Structure 1
Amino acid sequence: MSQRELMRATAASTATLRDALLVIDRSGTSVCLLVDDAGRLAGLLTDGDLRRAILRGRSLDDLALDHATKSPHTVAAGSPRALVLDLLAALHVSAVPEVDAEGTLVGLHTLSDVVGARPLPNVAVIMAGGRGSRLGDLTDDTPKPLMTVAGRSIIEWIILGLVGDGIRDIHVSVNYLADRIEEHLGDGSRLGCSVRYLREDPERPLGTAGSLTLLRAERPDLADAVLVMNGDLMVQFDAVDLLHTHARTGATLTVATRSYQHEVPFGVVEESGGRVTGLREKPTLTLDINAAVYAIEPRALAWVPEGRASGMPDLVETCLEKGEVVTAWHLGSDWIDVGTPSDLARAKGQA
């Protein structure tokens, strides 16, 4: 919801029921958010609250706050779309306010905003076939994408994020414990999308790019960029912006990047021609790393070798060797590659 739309759904905490009725009528959100002079959320009045007040014979000149919920359920600023959707479903409500650490109203999530994004023509592929050996015995019976964070599997968080951005056509590449993933996700209808499976031969894992050959065979009609990502990522990103940037730059392949900082634990000597020119004590290096989220033009799928394992870095190198445009798209949100037990614990702690 834009700031302008948020303002249309907001009234002062001194507003009357009549004022609140006008707000609900003009905003079309079925709620009126009441804020104090500092912009902090003071209460939430629904159209149901209004009806009940009127049926009880209350005057439209009554203070709206007297009939509002003064401590409504809220979400923290920047909450993932999937978490918002879970809360809306759990509370059986159509809207939930977003507030910052001081209680200041910064947004309003409505059910139509969360699940009603304009459908995109793009297909997404989630790579979920890996063994997850770095997680040790945690993946003996459970594939890594089904590890649970904040009450949902990692792959469900991924899918709900994609659905919220308008991607409804999703393929999941499966291999290790494939039946567990297929049983868990089904056809995707409960998550608001269509889920189909790219089934690798268990004896011949195809790597992070190789399973795109299965997509190539199944969907030779693809005309729009394909969004590809690993199935073990806890990340919130704007798929619409990624695909828009990909199209705007005329790229054949776009790589999402993430800033990574590393503190060198020693003093670094700077020299030129054998002469010391400076000394930096424990400098911090900032690097852009591969975030394992990509947008790929369908024609590039033809360059993935058939019948053998290959990785996404291999496809990037192939594009560069062919003189194709490869661009970077910076991912500004939190990002966790759930590869080790400590990564999984960190994801659970931040959810």
Structure 2
Amino acid sequence: MRHALIFAAGLGERMRPLTDHTPKPLLPVGGKPLIEWHLEKLAAIDVHYVVINTSHLAEQFPDTLGDGSRWGLRIRYAYEGPTPLETGGGMLNALSLLGPEPFIALSADIYSDYDYGALPLQPAGLAHLVMVPNPDWHASGDFVLHRDGLLGEDGAGERLTFGNIGVYRPEFLHGHAPGRFKLLPLYQQAMGAGQLGGERYDGFWRNLGNPAQLAELDTRLRAS
């Protein structure tokens, strides 16, 4: 049984004033909370256990989503405290709930038509990341995808943007102390060891950072 982690603990500062009273993952888009689109897609590929990390207005998540049974899921909540622990600290905080096998991890504040069932059950290295063409607001990209499927900070290949969708082995975080930290240094360490794989995805993908981007997606989903 595959497990999944959804990052939902951010403050949503660029989405204000919408996030003053509602966490960004619970904002409605296309007629349902943004995070619900992810839950439905995970349930469709037979993921039955989902951990959602929370911080800002954390009590609203169980009030809105419950235990996940309406989607055939079991949802557990990993509260980070009043200050989010960033991506690395949040993943480590949730690790004890995710079990010993590789798990899917994704950000709640994206939307895409990527099929989560296409993710490898067992990444070749420590993690496997979905990369997308660089959007206008991040033209320089994040990492280089090499022909052998490995990611690097430079070298021959195409520089792409991390789409905030991936599969991780628990060992990716082994030895790191709890606390507030980003995943970037761990990606860099894994790349240096040839242990970070990736793939390019050219389908629809959006990062929802502000009210205008949310409204644009809402219009698109309602039209379709």
- Scaled by the length of structure 2, the TM-score of the pair is 0.83
Paired residues of 2:131 and 2:199 also in contact (CA < 8 A): yes
Q: Which amino acid aligns with 1:179?
A: E
Partner of 1:206: 85
Q: Which runs of 4+ in 1 moved over 6 A?
A: none
Q: Are positions 1:300 and 2:177 aligned together?
A: no
**1:75-112: per-residue Cα shift (whole Å, max 9, x none)?**
xxxxxxxxxxxxxxxxxxxxxxxxxxxxxxxxxxxxxx
Mark the CA change 1:301 to 1:287 in structure 2 (over 3 Å): closer, same or farther: closer
Q: Are positions 1:139 and 2:19 aligned together?
A: yes
Q: Which amino acid aligns with 2:107?
A: N
**1:94-151: per-residue Cα shift (whole Å, max 9, x none)?**
xxxxxxxxxxxxxxxxxxxxxxxxxxx2210000000100012111101000111111
The offset of 1:240, in angstroms, is 2.2
Partner of 1:328: 198
- Structure 1, unmatched stretches of 5+, are 1-120, 264-285
The offset of 1:261, in angstroms, is 5.6
Partner of 1:317: 188
Partner of 1:80: none
Paired residues of 1:237 and 1:333 also in contact (CA < 8 A): yes
Q: Which amino acid aligns with 1:166?
A: D
Largest Rg, 1 or 2:
1
The offset of 1:319, in angstroms, is 1.8
- The alignment's C-alpha RMSD in Å is 1.9
Paired residues of 1:225 and 1:243 also in contact (CA < 8 A): no
The offset of 1:320, in angstroms, is 2.6
Q: 1: CA distance between counterparts of 2:76 and 2:201? A: 27
Partner of 2:2: 122
Mark the CA change 1:174 to 1:130 in structure 2 (over 3 Å): closer, same or farther: same
The offset of 1:332, in angstroms, is 2.8
Alignment map for 1:30-69 (pairs within 5 Å): none
- Structure 2, unmatched stretches of 5+, are 138-157
SS across alignment from 1:211: helix
The offset of 1:209, in angstroms, is 1.9
Mark the CA change 1:302 to 1:226 in structure 2 (over 3 Å): closer, same or farther: same
The offset of 1:324, in angstroms, is 4.3
Q: Which amino acid aligns with 2:162?
A: N
Q: 2: CA distance between counterparts of 1:176 and 1:261? A: 27
Paired residues of 1:210 and 1:304 also in contact (CA < 8 A): no
Paired residues of 1:242 and 1:329 also in contact (CA < 8 A): no
The offset of 1:287, in angstroms, is 4.7
The offset of 1:318, in angstroms, is 2.7
- Scaled by the length of structure 1, the TM-score of the pair is 0.54
Q: Which amino acid aligns with 2:195?
A: V
The offset of 1:216, in angstroms, is 2.5
Q: 2: CA distance between counterparts of 1:311 and 1:293? A: 15
Alignment length, in residue pairs? 201
The offset of 1:186, in angstroms, is 0.7
Identity between Structure 1 and Structure 2 (%): 24
Q: Which amino acid aligns with 1:147?
A: L
Paired residues of 2:93 and 2:178 also in contact (CA < 8 A): no
Partner of 1:162: 42
The offset of 1:262, in angstroms, is 5.0
Q: 2: CA distance between counterparts of 1:291 and 1:303? A: 26
Question: In structure 2, which of residues 57, 60, 73 is the aligned counterpart of residue 180 of structure 1?
Answer: 60
Partner of 1:236: 113
